[in-house]
Structure 1
Amino acid sequence: MTMFRKFGSMFVLASAFTTLVACNNAGDGGNDTLTNTPSTGENKTQQTIDTTDGLPAMTTENITLTYASWDNAYMNEYLAEKFMEKYPNITVELVELEQATWNEGLFNLASTGNLPDVFWYLGDVSASLDNMWLQDFSAYYNADPENELIPASIKEAGTFGDLRLSAPVKNLPFAIFLDRTVFGKLNIPMPSVDWTYSEMIDLAKKLTVPEQSIYGMNLYTQLTTISPIVNQENSIGEFGYNGESFDFSVYAEAYEQQREFSRTGVFPPAFGSEEAAQAFGDPEVWAASTGQLGMQVDAIWTANLFETAEFKDKGIDMVIYPVPNGDNSSNDNKPCYVDFGGISSVTEHPREAYELLKWMGWGKEGWMHKIDAFETLTYEDGSKVYTYPDGVPLLDDSEIWEAYKTLVPQTEEWMAFLDSVHSPVAMGGTYIPGFQSFLTWMGEQDIFGKLDRDEIKASDIQAELTEQANKMVQEARDKVLQNYQ
C-alpha cells in the first residue's frame, strides 16, 4: 500500500475570529500529534501560465502536497492513496483539523507559514479572502475541458472578476422526506415525484391533525432558503441572489409562511418545550423519530439515519423526495450545501495542487474512485462506512451519474431525487463575500428576533434588506478585487 503521513492540528495561537458553520458534514477520525512541513515561497496569486496547448505538464520531481478537508477520513485516505498511485512522485500528507474550530485552525497554520497546499474552507469565504489565503488558479481551471461539465447554476461560484479563487468540491443537496406510514394512516395519497412548491405547502396543512398530535412539516433546512431558489427566476443564491444583486420579495413570502405554520401548529412544538413533552411524551425527542410527522425538510445525508433500526422498528417509513419544483420558475435550480476548496497562496506547486483539489473534489477520475469507495470502504470491525453516499457528483457526466445511481435503492423516488439535483445552488456565505457580514448585521439589528416575535413583517422590510445586502456584498467584492490586484 502507498504510504502517506497524516498531520493533526495543535492550536497554539489565540482565535482571531469566530468560525461560521454552514453545515455539519464532518468526517470521522481523530487527531495525531502535529508535525509541520513548512510551505514557503512567494505569493503566486495571478501567476501567468502558458496554456496554449492546454494544461501544463505535471512535474516529474519528487514533491509533497498537504491537504485538509473535513470529508470522511476513510474517504480522504482512500482517494489520497489512489492519487499517489497515479502520481508516484507526489506524496500527499493529510492535515487534520477540528471541524468545530476549522477556520481558527487554518489561521494558526497560516500564522506559522504552514497553510496546506490544498484546503477546504468552512462557511464564510470572507475569512479566506480577507486573509489572502487563496491563490488564483483560473489559468488551470479555464484550460481544463472537464470543467465545461460544471452546471451553469454554480459555474461562476468561486470567481471574482477574472480570478478563480475557489471551486465547488462537494455537493450535498437538500431533500424532503415523507413518512409513508403517516400518509397511509391519514389516507392521504403520496404526491407525484414531480410535485410543486405549492403542493408541498398544501400537503403540510393536510397532514396536520392536532387531535392526533400529528404535524405536517418539520424544518432542518428552511423554506426561506428553498422558495427563493426554486420560485424566483434566475436565482442562483439565497435571498434571490442572481449573481449581481439580491431580491428579498420571495424570501419575505416564505418567511411569513413559516410564521403561519408556527402559529397554526403545522410545525411541531419547539424542542425541549412543555408542549413537546405533551405531544411526544419527551420534550427532547426529534419530531421525525416519533412517527407523528408527515414531512421532514432536510438534506441527503439524513437518508442514512432513516435506514437505521431506530426508525424501522417504529414503523417509520421515510421516503426521499426531491425539493419540489417552483410554481412559476422555469429553471431546475435546487438548494444544496456545497463545500468549497482552494489552493494555498503560498504553495510551491500550484499546478499539482490544482490536480489534487480537482481529484479530491469534482473531477471525474477521482469520482470514479469515490464510487468504488462508497461501495467497499469498511471500518475496522468490517461494517460499511457508507449506507448511502453522503453527497452527489458535481460534474454533469453521464458515466459518473449512471455508476452513482447503482449505489442507492432503485426506486422511483430515489431516481427522481437524483435527476433533480443537476443544477445545484450553494449557500450564500460559501461563495459570496460579505454575505455572512450581512447576516451578522441582521442579528445586530435584532431583525430575526423581531420577525420571530411578529413585531414586524418580512414584506415590510424587504426593500431595506435588499438595499443593505447589495451594499455590503458589493463593498466586500470590491475589497477582494483590490486585495488581489
Structure 2
Amino acid sequence: MKNKRKSAGILSIVLILSIIITACSGGNSGGNGNAAAPDNASGTSDTNSATGADNEPAVAEEHDPVTIKFISWKDGTYNELYELFHKKYPWITIEQVPVNGQSIMEIIAALEAAGTPADVTEIDADLITFEQNGLVEDLTPYIDSSPIFQEASLPQGFFDTMTFNNKKLAVPMVDVPMWVLVNKDLLAKHGVDMPPNDWTYDDFREIAKKLTDPDAGEYGVTTQPEIQMRLLSTKAIADGHAANLQYMNEDFTQSVMATPDVMNDVKWLQEFVTKDGSMQSDAAATASGNVTREFINGKTGFAIGGDWVLPDLKKNAKFNWDVLPFPRGEVSQPGYSIYGPLSLLAGSKHKEEAFLWLSFQFTMEAQKWKIDQGANASVADPELTAYYDQAPIWQDKNIEAVKIAQKNAVIQPGATVPGWSEYNWNNILNEIIFGERDINDIIPETEAWNKKTTELRATLTQ
C-alpha cells in the first residue's frame, strides 16, 4: 500500500504543479481563516529545559546515518529542537528545507523529480488536497505502534481536525495558544483593576468602554482582525451558539454563521465600533495614523495575541502588559488554539526515522522546550502543567491564565473540511465589523458554502 501511494505521488507531479495556485489559495491569506499556524518566533529557549533521562540517546546499537529532509517555515528558530532530537537519536540529522515563499506542494514535486524526496513537511493548504494526491501517509498504523504515543495522554478530539476518511493525516508540529493581551498601565490610568481569570464577555465590553479616551487617542480594544477572527467565534461557543470555532457545527459539516444567535454575536462586536466607540473602524484607524492597529503602541487596552507576539512584547513594549484567558460566556469558557499540521510524506525513503521526528514532538523534553517558547503543551501531564511555573518566558506574568488557556483550548478547524478555502467567514465579518457591509449578507454567503461543502464531501467519501 505504501509503495502504491508513493507511486501515486510521483505520477501526480504534473497534476500537482497545475493546481498549485488554486490548492494553496487559502495558505497564509487572512481572507478565509485557513492560514498556516504562525511560527513560534521566540527563538531558542532561555534555559535548556530538556535535561535528564528523557534526553539520553534512544538506543546504543549501531545505525547507519540518516538525514531527514523537513520542509518548514521555521527559519532557524527550531535549531535547538533539532539538536535535542539529534542528541536522542544520534544517527538522525534534521535538514530543514526552507519554503522561501514557494508552495509546499511545488517543493515536494521538485524534490521527487530530482530523486531526493522530502520526508516530513508542514502543511500550507488543506490536508485533503495532499491526501487526494497521494502525498501524505496515513499515520494511524505508525501512531498505534508508537511507544511515545501509547504513553502520551492526549486531549479529547486531538486528531479531529487532522483526520479525514478515518485516516490520521498529520500531527501538530506546535500547539499555538492565544490569550487576551492586557495593557495594565492603561487599566491603572483609568482606575480599573486587572480582571480575574473568570471574567465574562460583559466584563470585557464594560472595561473596554472605561479605557476609551478619544482625546488621548486611547481605545479599549485594538483594531485588529484577530479580535473578530479569534474572540468572536470563541464567544459563539462560550454562549452555546456554535459547537466549534469559525461557527462550525458539531461534526464540521455545516456552518451556523447565519443563525440568529450567531448574527447577534456579530452585532455585539460591531457595536464596539458603532455604539460604544471603544474600538475604531478601519477608516477611523487609518485616519488617526494606524496607531490603534498595534497593541504594542500602548494606546489600546485589549488585543488578541499568541506565542508569536511574545518576543516583540518582551523586548519592545514600553508599558506593563499581561495576559488573560478568553472570557467566560453563558455556558463555558473556551480558549482558542491553532495546530500547525506536520505530515509524513509518502515519498520518503526513511519513513521509520521520519516518524521518530513526528513522535519526538510529544516527548517530555520537546514539550518543555515548546512551553519555553510560549506554546501550549500538547500532552496532558501534571509535570508539564507544573513546568509553566518554571518557564522563564512567563515569569512575572499571569501564569494561571496561560494554564487555563491551554486547558480550555478549542482547536481551529479547516485542514480537513472540504471547500474550506471558499468559506468566506473571515472577510465578510471584517467588512461588517470594521467597515460598512450589510450584516444580512451573511445569510446567502453561508447558505451557498454549506451547499458546496456538502457536495464536495460527497465526492470525496465515495
Is there any run of 5+ residues in structure 2 with no aligned partner, and where? 1-16, 29-34, 43-60
- Cα deviations across residues 91-135 of structure 1 (Å, max 9, x unaligned)? 432222225755544454456565521111125334423433211
Q: Does 1:294 align with 2:296?
A: no
Residues 107, 182 of structure 1: alpha-carbon distance in 2 compared, 3 angstrom cutoff = farther
Q: For residue 308 of structure 2, what is the amino acid of its counterpart?
A: W
Partner of 2:322: 319
Partner of 1:247: 256
- Which one scores higher on RCO, CA 8 angstroms, separation ≥ 6? 2
Whole-Å Cα distance in 2 between the matches of residues 79 and 203 of structure 1? 41
User: 1:352-363 to 2 correspondence within 5 Å?
Assistant: 352-359=353-360, 361-363=361-363
- Cα deviations across residues 59-116 of structure 1 (Å, max 9, x unaligned)? 95544322122235242x3333332333333343222222575554445445656552
Residues 451, 370 of structure 1: alpha-carbon distance in 2 compared, 3 angstrom cutoff = closer
Deviation (angstroms), 1:404: 3.7
Find the residue that maps to 2:337 and give its secondary structure: strand
Q: For residue 329 of structure 2, what is the amino acid of its counterpart?
A: G
| Mapped contact 2:171–2:343 kept (Cα < 8 A) | yes
* Structure 1 or 2: more helix by fraction: 2
User: 1:253-332 to 2 correspondence within 5 Å?
Assistant: 253-264=264-275, 265-268=277-280, 270=282, 275-277=287-289, 283=290, 286-308=293-315, 310-312=316-318, 316-329=319-332
Residues 317, 89 of structure 1: alpha-carbon distance in 2 compared, 3 angstrom cutoff = closer
2:174 maps to which of 170, 176, 188: 170
Residues 290, 89 of structure 1: alpha-carbon distance in 2 compared, 3 angstrom cutoff = closer
Q: For residue 254 of structure 1, what is the amino acid of its counterpart?
A: D
Of the structure 1 ranges 166-175 and 423-432, higher mean CA displacement relative to structure 2 is found in: 423-432
Residues 409, 94 of structure 1: alpha-carbon distance in 2 compared, 3 angstrom cutoff = closer
Q: Does 1:206 align with 2:218?
A: no
Deviation (angstroms), 1:353: 2.0
Q: For residue 81 of structure 1, what is the amino acid of its counterpart?
A: E
Residues 232, 15 of structure 1: alpha-carbon distance in 2 compared, 3 angstrom cutoff = same
Whole-Å Cα distance in 1 between the matches of residues 437 and 370 of structure 2? 49
- Cα deviations across residues 269-323 of structure 1 (Å, max 9, x unaligned)? 538956314xxxxx46744244331112222332332222x422xxx21211111
| Mapped contact 1:338–1:427 kept (Cα < 8 A) | yes
Whole-Å Cα distance in 2 between the matches of residues 349 and 212 of structure 1? 60
Q: Does 1:66 align with 2:69?
A: yes
Whole-Å Cα distance in 2 between the matches of residues 107 and 85 of structure 1? 31
Residues 285, 297 of structure 1: alpha-carbon distance in 2 compared, 3 angstrom cutoff = closer
Task: Quote the sequence identity (%).
Answer: 21
| Mapped contact 1:220–1:298 kept (Cα < 8 A) | no
Partner of 1:39: none
Residues 300, 241 of structure 1: alpha-carbon distance in 2 compared, 3 angstrom cutoff = farther
Q: How many residues align?
A: 408
Q: Does 1:347 align with 2:356?
A: no
Residues 89, 467 of structure 1: alpha-carbon distance in 2 compared, 3 angstrom cutoff = same
Q: Does 1:413 align with 2:416?
A: no
1:160 maps to which of 164, 168, 173: 164
| Mapped contact 2:220–2:302 kept (Cα < 8 A) | yes
Whole-Å Cα distance in 1 between the matches of residues 454 and 363 of structure 2? 31
User: 1:18-167 to 2 correspondence within 5 Å?
Assistant: 18-19=24-25, 20-21=27-28, 22=35, 25-26=38-39, 60=63, 62-71=65-74, 73-75=76-78, 77-99=79-101, 101-102=103-104, 104-106=106-108, 108-109=110-111, 112=114, 114-144=116-146, 145-146=149-150, 149-167=153-171
- Cα deviations across residues 380-435 of structure 1 (Å, max 9, x unaligned)? xxxxxxxxx14121111222232243113445722222233124323333343321
Q: For residue 150 of structure 1, what is the amino acid of its counterpart?
A: L
Whole-Å Cα distance in 2 between the matches of residues 116 and 94 of structure 1? 10
| Mapped contact 1:217–1:297 kept (Cα < 8 A) | no
Whole-Å Cα distance in 2 between the matches of residues 63 and 138 of structure 1? 24
| Mapped contact 2:339–2:411 kept (Cα < 8 A) | yes
Q: Does 1:397 align with 2:381?
A: yes
Deviation (angstroms), 1:470: 3.6
Deviation (angstroms), 1:212: 3.4
Whole-Å Cα distance in 1 between the matches of residues 386 and 312 of structure 2? 24
| Mapped contact 2:367–2:378 kept (Cα < 8 A) | no
User: 1:446-465 to 2 correspondence within 5 Å?
Assistant: 449=431, 454-458=436-440, 461-462=442-443, 464-465=444-445
Whole-Å Cα distance in 1 between the matches of residues 382 and 65 of structure 2? 35
Whole-Å Cα distance in 2 between the matches of residues 289 and 349 of structure 1? 45
Of the structure 1 ranges 229-238 and 157-166, higher mean CA displacement relative to structure 2 is found in: 229-238
Find the residue that maps to 1:71 and give its secondary structure: coil
- Cα deviations across residues 4-29 of structure 1 (Å, max 9, x unaligned)? xxxxxxxxx89831451115634779
Deviation (angstroms), 1:176: 0.8
Find the residue that maps to 1:25 and give its secondary structure: coil
Whole-Å Cα distance in 2 between the matches of residues 478 and 143 of structure 1? 32
Find the residue that maps to 1:428 and give its secondary structure: coil
Is there any run of 5+ residues in structure 1 with no aligned partner, and where? 1-12, 30-57, 278-282, 375-388
Deviation (angstroms), 1:345: 1.5
Partner of 2:235: 227
- Cα deviations across residues 131-183 of structure 1 (Å, max 9, x unaligned)? 33211010122344447522114332211132111122211111111111111
Q: Does 1:193 align with 2:173?
A: no
Residues 73, 412 of structure 1: alpha-carbon distance in 2 compared, 3 angstrom cutoff = closer
Find the residue that maps to 1:401 and give its secondary structure: helix
Partner of 2:55: none
Partner of 2:453: 473
| Mapped contact 2:173–2:340 kept (Cα < 8 A) | yes
Q: For residue 263 of structure 1, what is the amino acid of its counterpart?
A: T
Q: For residue 405 of structure 2, what is the amino acid of its counterpart?
A: S
Q: For residue 350 of structure 1, what is the amino acid of its counterpart?
A: K
Find the residue that maps to 2:160 and give its secondary structure: coil
RMSD over aligned Cα, in angstroms?
3.5
Find the residue that maps to 2:282 and give its secondary structure: coil
| Mapped contact 1:151–1:422 kept (Cα < 8 A) | no
Find the residue that maps to 2:156 and give its secondary structure: coil
Whole-Å Cα distance in 1 between the matches of residues 285 and 388 of structure 2? 42
Residues 139, 476 of structure 1: alpha-carbon distance in 2 compared, 3 angstrom cutoff = farther
Residues 299, 90 of structure 1: alpha-carbon distance in 2 compared, 3 angstrom cutoff = closer
